[in-house]
Structure 1
Amino acid sequence: MDPLTLALLVAIITIVVLFSGISVASGLLIVATGFLLVFDGVRSLASLPDLFFAELNSFALLSIPMFIIMGASIASTRAGADLYEALERWLTRVPGGLVISNLGACALFAAMSGSSPATCAAIGKMGIPEMRKRGYPDGVAAGSIAAGGTLGILIPPSVTMIVYGIATESSIGRLFLAGVLPGIMLVALFMAWSIYATWRSGDARVLSATDYSWKQKFEILPKVLPFLLIILGVLYAMYGGIATPSETAAVGALLCLVIAVLIYKMWHPRDLWVVLRDSTRESVMILFIIGAAGVFSYMLSSLFITQSIAEWIGTLDVNRWVLMAMINLFLLVAGFFLPPVAVILMAAPILLPIITTAGFDPIWFAVILTINMEIGLISPPVGLNLYVINGIAPDISLKTILLGSLPYVACMVLAIVLLCLFPGIATWLPDYVMGQRL
């Protein structure tokens, strides 16, 4: 069978299998094993166990469970509530300041936890009721939290960036740095839209009934600063050449657990068990997908599917930006149905040779890919953040949450356009800190 025809068949069957409700990792293994068995014979299956475990034989992978523990220990405390309250106290007299406080809290909590659902839950439980009580539109209240939660996969430390780095053999340090300025840009775009939306509805002048004193503003900071110092310390150790990403992640996880115990009195072994249990569950899920994606990639390469697709696209007489638009459309649709980790591991082996041949920077492309995945988190039919918000505020309809999120989707699309026009937004900081690549 022609490799391109086989590629289409693989795509259709993979979609059908994944839509059946089976786990992503199991689905990838079933599809890969089936195609190898049919088109390459039984002998090809002998190497699959070695391939699976070879994908997991990487020291860099240790950073994934460590960063997850780091985020879980933060998410299990009142850190999100304290972060929200701190920003609310400082910005409460600013017109539209409450929604800015929520977005700022989402950005900082996302950077600390790296988890989109955890950010939505932690900030949304306090932020949404408070915004609604003060007259902010339901769409702005719910949509801003849903969109703010997506920042966890872009702002470092990001598990998604680690997975991309492993899948493409890119520098994780560069990937983390590449997400900083685009993350700040997205926060600014989200804030700008939120202020405009509240002004348009006549609610921008809604102010808090509480006028906090300077003492009240400063007394909340000691609970928040330790976590922020850990984030800055982790990044400094990584970029200062003091330690590898895996080592800094381990130290960061330990310090977050210590602070959770000392500041938030998480003394009970049951609380620590929940953190470790949930972290282990999420880590195993991600690592299982990584191993399965390695087998899936081997199948694509063994049957010459990857090479044929890259060669076919290389023969297309289209502008490279048209090609990038097609890739963005593919990533956008894939993100509607699959989690970011699965999309990266499935698409990276195919897309990387294509984007490098077209002259695009793989580090820059990682940011483009991640923003596409962020859009998927607030878009149906999966749209995990939409359902998390609906669970927090069940009296706000899913339709209202979706409509409230759409302007933030437009902000993300605008961010992608700006990154295409000014790629230095993503590449300047990595090149400045770590030097130009050869």
Structure 2
Amino acid sequence: MDPVTAGIAVAIGLVVLMAIGTPIAFALGGVSLVALVADRGVSELTYFGETFFDRIAEFGFVAIPMFIMMGAAVASSPTGRDLYRSLDLWLGKLPGGLAISNIGACSIFAALSGSSPATCAAIGKMGIPEMRKRGYPDGVAAGCIAAGGTLGILIPPSVTMIIYGISTETSIGRLFIAGVVPGFMLAGLFMVWTLIACKLAGGYGNPMEIASESIKKTVRENVDANLKALVRVLPFLGVVIGILFALYGGVATPSEAAGVGAFLCLALAIIIYRMWQVKPIKLIMRDSLRESVMIMLIIAAAEVFAYALSSLFITQTVAGAIADLEVNRWVLMGVVNVFLLVAGFFLPPVAVIVMTAPILMPIILSANFDPYWFAVILTINLEIGLITPPVGLNLFIINSIAPDISQRDVLMGSLPYALCMVLAILLLCLFPEIALWLPNLLMG
């Protein structure tokens, strides 16, 4: 079978399996197994097992479950509630301030947890009901949380950046630093649109002016509690800053920094929030194990999938066809962006990275694009996939938090934030130093 026909058959098989609800890891592994056996015989089963286990045996992947445990410790504690209350104290009285404080809380919680779903769930459980109670439109309330949650895979420490770094053999510390400025730039764009959306939707200035007297009284009475909540959050922010310092300062490897960060966040959650009981600690361990196994299975299956594509010469054919395109390098980058955008509509970020990064990296380097800059571009494309159908993981989380908000309102509220991400990609293409300035300054 020629590579083109084989590639079409593999793509159709993968789409069919995912369409009937097969988990990503099993879909990738199943298609790979069938393709290898059909092309080379049963003897390929030996290489299937070796490839599957050799990939996840790399020492660098130790950082993934550690960062996931760190995020689970933060997400399972009342840290999100305290962070939300603290920002609401300072921003809640501004026009559209409560929605802006939600995005700010998502930005900071993203740095603490490194997970988009955890960020969306932790802040959304408090933010969406409170915004609706104070008169914010359903679309604004749902959209700003769904979009703010996506920052979890861009603002460091980010699990997806770790996977990208291992897949492309680039510095994880430098990748983390490269995501800082674009992450907060994207949060700023979200805040600007939120202000505009509030004006367009309701035409009101300060939502507190139309709030009931009981809500105003509650906000005034909670000032002291909110200040104390801010103090409880600061140690967790200190851990994140310490991890970044250890990484870019060469003090520790990503695995070492992740291990220390997980221990400190777990200890802080137990001490600050008095989580002495077995149940919350068991919940943290369960969530960490579940997400870690899911990610590692996807990584292992994607490696087998990449091996199958290479064995069938599909990868080489696609890469050669793209490289042979005699087009401007920015046209090439546009094609790559469209490809990533479409892939993000159907696949989770981890799967897209491990499947495409090794293929795209030679093309990116041959076109003289910076791999760390491209990591940020790739991540923002995958963020768009988190708030757009048909997968749109954050949309499902919003639906579980506020099932009475119609799917149409959620989608219409999220769409402008997706356009903000497209604008961020354009700004990064025009001004690459947005992503490269800080890592060049700190790491040379």
Interval containing the TM-score (normalised by the shorter chain): over 0.9
Pairwise CA distance, 1:276 = 0.4
Aligned residue number for residue 59 of structure 1: 59
2:296 corresponds to 1:287: yes
Q: Distance in 2 between matches of 1:408 and 1:28?
A: 31
Alignment of 1:2-401 (within 5 A): 2-200=2-200, 201-207=202-208, 209=216, 210-211=219-220, 218-401=227-410
User: What code does the residue aligned with 2:158 have?
Assistant: S
Pairwise CA distance, 1:12 = 2.0
Pairwise CA distance, 1:130 = 1.4
Q: Distance in 2 between matches of 1:98 and 1:204?
A: 12
Pairwise CA distance, 1:144 = 0.2
Pairwise CA distance, 1:129 = 1.5
Pairwise CA distance, 1:179 = 0.8
2:431 corresponds to 1:430: no
Instruction: Tell me the alpha carbon deviations over residues 251-299 of structure 1, each in whole angstroms, 9 at most, x when there is no partner.
Output: 1101111111111111111211111011011101111111111111111
SS at 2:206's partner residue?
Answer: coil
Indicate conservation of the 8 Å contact 2:82/2:226, yes or no.
no
Pairwise CA distance, 1:199 = 2.3
Identify the range of structure 1 (52-61 vs 179-188) with the bigger mean alpha-carbon deviation: 52-61
Q: Would you say how many aligned residue pairs link Structure 1 and Structure 2?
A: 435
User: What code does the residue aligned with 1:349 have?
Assistant: P
Q: Distance in 1 between matches of 2:132 and 2:102?
A: 13
Distance 1:212 1:181, change over 3 A: farther
SS at 1:296's partner residue?
Answer: helix
Pairwise CA distance, 1:370 = 0.8
Distance 1:223 1:315, change over 3 A: same
SS at 1:353's partner residue?
Answer: helix
SS at 1:42's partner residue?
Answer: coil
Q: Distance in 1 between matches of 2:415 and 2:10?
A: 32
User: What code does the residue aligned with 2:42 have?
Assistant: V
SS at 2:43's partner residue?
Answer: helix
The percentage of counterpart residues that share the same residue type is: 61
Indicate conservation of the 8 Å contact 2:105/2:123, yes or no.
yes
User: What code does the residue aligned with 2:81 have?
Assistant: A
Pairwise CA distance, 1:137 = 1.3
Q: Distance in 2 between matches of 1:277 and 1:410?
A: 36
Indicate conservation of the 8 Å contact 2:143/2:411, yes or no.
yes
Distance 1:150 1:43, change over 3 A: same
Q: After TM superposition, what 4+ stretches of structure 1 lie above 4 angstroms from structure 2?
A: 211-217
SS at 2:388's partner residue?
Answer: coil
Instruction: Tell me the alpha carbon deviations over residues 187-207 of structure 1, each in whole angstroms, 9 at most, x when there is no partner.
Output: 000000001111233123223
Indicate conservation of the 8 Å contact 1:387/1:398, yes or no.
no
Q: Distance in 2 between matches of 1:406 and 1:255?
A: 38
Aligned residue number for residue 411 of structure 1: 420
Pairwise CA distance, 1:66 = 0.3
Indicate conservation of the 8 Å contact 2:85/2:226, yes or no.
no
Q: Distance in 1 between matches of 2:75 and 2:223?
A: 28
Q: Distance in 2 between matches of 1:261 and 1:219?
A: 17
SS at 1:220's partner residue?
Answer: helix
User: What code does the residue aligned with 1:308 have?
Assistant: T
Q: Distance in 2 between matches of 1:122 and 1:214?
A: 21
Indicate conservation of the 8 Å contact 1:89/1:212, yes or no.
no
Q: Distance in 1 between matches of 2:191 and 2:34?
A: 48
SS at 1:394's partner residue?
Answer: coil
Identify the range of structure 1 (283-292 vs 206-215) with the bigger mean alpha-carbon deviation: 206-215
Pairwise CA distance, 1:214 = 7.4
Pairwise CA distance, 1:216 = 5.5
Pairwise CA distance, 1:41 = 2.7
Q: Distance in 2 between matches of 1:347 and 1:162?
A: 15
Q: Distance in 2 between matches of 1:303 and 1:350?
A: 14
Pairwise CA distance, 1:62 = 0.5
Indicate conservation of the 8 Å contact 1:136/1:203, yes or no.
no
Pairwise CA distance, 1:215 = 5.2
Q: Distance in 2 between matches of 1:9 and 1:204?
A: 56
User: What code does the residue aligned with 1:300 have?
Assistant: L
Q: Distance in 1 between matches of 2:346 and 2:295?
A: 17
